Amino acid sequence: MSRGPDPKRPRRPLAAAVLVLMAGLLLTAGLACAGCGSAERPPPAAALPAALVREARSIGRGPRFQPPAKGPIMGPCRRDLGPRSGVHVELFAANQVVLVASGIGTRPPLAYSEGRISKARCYGDLVTLEPTGVVLVRRGARLHLSDLFRAWGQPLSSRSLATFSGPTSKAVRVFVDGRAWRGEPGSVPLSRHSEIVLEVGPYVPPHSRYTFPPGT
C-alpha cells in the first residue's frame, strides 16, 4: 500500500501533490498517462476529450481551498494501515477545486515519500495519505461522508461544504457515480470504488468514475 519511509527526506511542497492530483483527474476520465514524470509536456487542451475539458477546474488558492486535517480519529487508531477500500471524493466551490487534505485519520509523527504519507504513528478507520481525494476505508467499517468530514474537522450539510456555504437551503449538490444524490450530503455511504462529487456554486459536470490504485 505505501512506500518505505525516508526520515531524512523533507516533505515536498504542495506542488508535488498537485501533480499527483492532476494525474488522478486524468485517470478519472479513463485516460492513460503516457510519460508521467518525464520531461514531456502534457497534451494540449485541444487534444483532450471535450467532456474532460468541460469538467476541468483549477485548484483554488489559499486556506479556504486547502483546509487542513484537524478532526478526530474515526474508530481505533492502529499501528498498521491494513487492507483498505478506496473511495474518491471531489469538492468544487466557487467553480474551483477544494483539496481534500492529506493526513485525515492519521496521527504524527508522519513520514513522507514523494509527497505521500508513507508512515504514521497510527491509522483510523478512514485515512487520506495524499490530497488527491482518495479516501482509504478499513475493510469492514461502515462509514459515511459525514464521518469523513468529521475526521477532517470540516462542516458538511445541505448548505455548508467545508469552508464554503450557499445562499439557499439546498445549496450543496451531491453526485454519486455521476448521478444526483437526493438525500442529505452526509448520508452518502463510503462504498468501495464510489466516485463522490460535492459542489457549491456554479455547476461542474461530475465525474462518474475514478481509476483507483491497485489493491484498494
pLDDT digits (tens, 9 = 90+) for 65-110: 999 999 999 999 999 999 999 999 999 999 999 999 999 999 999 9
From 2-6, 131-135, 141-145, the region with the lowest mean pLDDT: 2-6
- With contact defined as beta carbons under 8 Å apart, do 144 and 35 qualify? no
Give the dihedral of Cα atoms 39, 40, 45, 47; nearest 10 deg.
Answer: -170
Strands 164-165 and 160-161: antiparallel
pLDDT one-digit tens code per residue, 38-50: 333 444 444 555 6
Residue tagged 485517470 (cell numbers): 27
Residue 58 pLDDT greater than 50, yes or no = yes
- What's the predicted TM-score (pTM) here? 0.77
- With contact defined as beta carbons under 8 Å apart, do 188 and 181 qualify? yes
Instruction: Give domain status of residue 176, yes or no.
Output: yes
Instruction: Give domain status of residue 1, yes or no.
Output: no
Using pLDDT thresholds of 50, 70 and 90, give the confidence band for residue 22. Answer: very low
Instruction: Give domain status of residue 209, yes or no.
Output: no
Instruction: Give domain status of residue 55, yes or no.
Output: yes
DSSP 79: S
From 3-12, 113-122, 156-165, the region with the lowest mean pLDDT: 3-12
Instruction: Give domain status of residue 208, yes or no.
Output: no
Domain region containing 34? 14-200
Instruction: Give domain status of residue 216, yes or no.
Output: no
* pLDDT value at residue 152: 98
**Separation of alpha carbons 65 and 101, rounded Å:** 10
Instruction: Give domain status of residue 206, yes or no.
Output: no
Q: What percentage of the chain reaches a pLDDT higher than 90? A: 69
Cell of 88: 474518491
Q: What is the count of structural domains for the chain?
A: 1
Instruction: Give domain status of residue 211, yes or no.
Output: no
Using pLDDT thresholds of 50, 70 and 90, give the confidence band for residue 167. Answer: confident
